[in-house]
Amino acid sequence: MTNKRVEGGITMANTLVLYYSATGTTEKMAKLVAQKLGADIQAIHPVQPYTKDDLNWRDKSSRATTEQHEHDSRVPVKDDFPDLSGYDNIIIAHPIWWGIPPRMIVDVIDKLDLNGKNLASFATSGGSDYERSQSLIQRTVDENHYDVHVNQGAVLNSTADVDPWLKSLNF
């Protein structure tokens, strides 16, 4: 499977994998997906990085717990994304926190011009499926009125999950 094209004698990937990883688990899967697709890859950076205490899911007053329970909230991300004009396909990788993507993923979708793109997303998770994450991604795309094809996302917790999901994409 190749996702490269040549422009002006320069080989370009037409797929970009954007990922947020708090512990390295999602980063590992994002790198594997990017490698299999020959895709470019870029980390997502929250404006205010998370500390270990911010991510303590057992603490009901921790930053991440509070953010995840504020419906329709956005966590600002740095707008350091590459120019998307050279990409046909965008993949957003994230962990699942409290059944949905971290609230920063909504801000990422708000910031990107996804018109005319194919969008896919996947997560790593200790126990959630992808149903609520898919709904949040689709709702955010719809709120932005993007003309984008949204592929079915998946939870990719092992390398064995990757190839079947990639084969399901409309890329």
Distances (CA, A) of 6 to 2, 15, 83, 139: 12, 13, 17, 34
Residue type, 148: V
Q: What pairs with residue 119 in β-bridges?
A: 90, 150
Nearest to 102 by CA among 155, 65, 154: 65
Helix or strand holding residue 138 (H, E): helix 131-143
**DSSP structure string for 40-91:** EEEE--BSSPPPTTTT-TT-TTSHHHHHHTSTT----B---PPPGGG-SEEE
Nearest to 39 by CA among 69, 1, 74: 1
Each residue's pLDDT expressed in tens, for the chain with a length of 171 residues = 445 554 444 444 699 999 999 999 999 999 999 999 999 999 999 999 998 998 888 888 888 888 898 888 889 999 999 999 999 999 999 999 999 999 999 999 999 999 999 999 999 998 999 999 999 999 999 999 999 999 999 999 999 999 999 999 988
Helix (H) or strand (E) holding 149: strand 149-150
Answer for the pair 107, 74: CB distance below 8 angstroms, yes or no.
Answer: yes
CATH numbers and ranges of domains, the chain: 4-168 (3.40.50.360)
